[in-house]
């Protein structure tokens, strides 16, 4: 008889604890807009050396190294992998994409297809030093920088 209330309390505590999240930023490799010419979805392979297949990826705010696979082009059947340094702000969801110059170009730039505030996000590492304002134009956000990688053979 005494085990039922203890289990109910434990289940209630576990349910409430499951609602709290420890991440502050969301990265998504799916396309947000589908009208940009030569813009392709990406797969976020690793963040700071941690590999995962979760979509979207939930990370802490700050500077991170991203390992990105862009969708294959008409000229190849393998994805193109690059590493980028990315500065993530607190409580922002980013839709990342690969921007190529043509259908046959294997080279690409990582672009922010869209960014918006995460609904109901409360920063877990204290109050932000300044208010998070996501510009309506994603081109105003600092772009990711490419990290040189050795060529695959």
* Token pair 């500065």: residue: 87
pLDDT in tens, 52-92: 888 899 998 888 999 999 988 887 888 889 999 988 888 88
Average pLDDT over residues 122-131: 51
* Token pair 């105003």: residue: 140
pLDDT in tens, 91-110: 889 999 998 888 888 888 88
- Output the pLDDT for position 62: 87
21, 61, 84 from 145: Cα distances, Å: 28, 17, 5
pLDDT, averaged across the chain: 77
Return the top range by mean pLDDT from 23-27, 92-96, 122-126, 147-151. 92-96
- Output the pLDDT for position 132: 52
Residues of the chain with pLDDT > 90, as a percent, come to: 18
> Residue 127: which pLDDT band, with cuts at 50, 70 and 90?
very low
- Burial per residue of 100-117, b for 16 or more beta-carbon CB atoms within 10 angstroms, e otherwise: beeeeeeebebbbbebee
**Count H helices, E strands: the chain?**
1, 10
DSSP state at residue 5: H
Structure tokens at 39: 């813009």
Average pLDDT over residues 21-41: 83
> Residue 82 contacts by C-beta under 8 Å, 6 or more apart in sequence?
67, 68, 70, 108, 110, 146, 147, 149
Burial of residue 126 (number of CB atoms within 10 Å: 0-12, 13-18, 19+): exposed
């Amino acid at each position: 008889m005494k085990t039922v209330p203890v289990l109910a309390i434990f289940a209630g505590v576990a349910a409430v604890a499951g609602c709290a999240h420890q991440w502050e930023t969301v990265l998504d490799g799916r396309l947000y807009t589908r009208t940009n010419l030569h813009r392709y979805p990406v797969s976020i392979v690793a963040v700071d050396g941690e590999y995962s297949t979760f979509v979207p990826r939930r990370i802490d705010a700050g500077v991170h190294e991203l390992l990105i696979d862009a969708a294959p082009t008409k000229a190849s059947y393998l994805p193109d992998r690059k590493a980028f340094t990315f500065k993530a702000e607190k409580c922002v969801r980013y839709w990342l994409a690969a921007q190529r110059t043509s259908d046959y170009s294997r080279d690409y730039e990582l672009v922010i297809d869209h960014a918006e505030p995460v609904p109901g996000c409360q920063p877990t590492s204290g109050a932000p030093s300044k208010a998070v304002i996501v510009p309506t134009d994603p081109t105003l956000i600092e772009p990711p920088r490419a990290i040189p990688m050795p060529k695959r053979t």
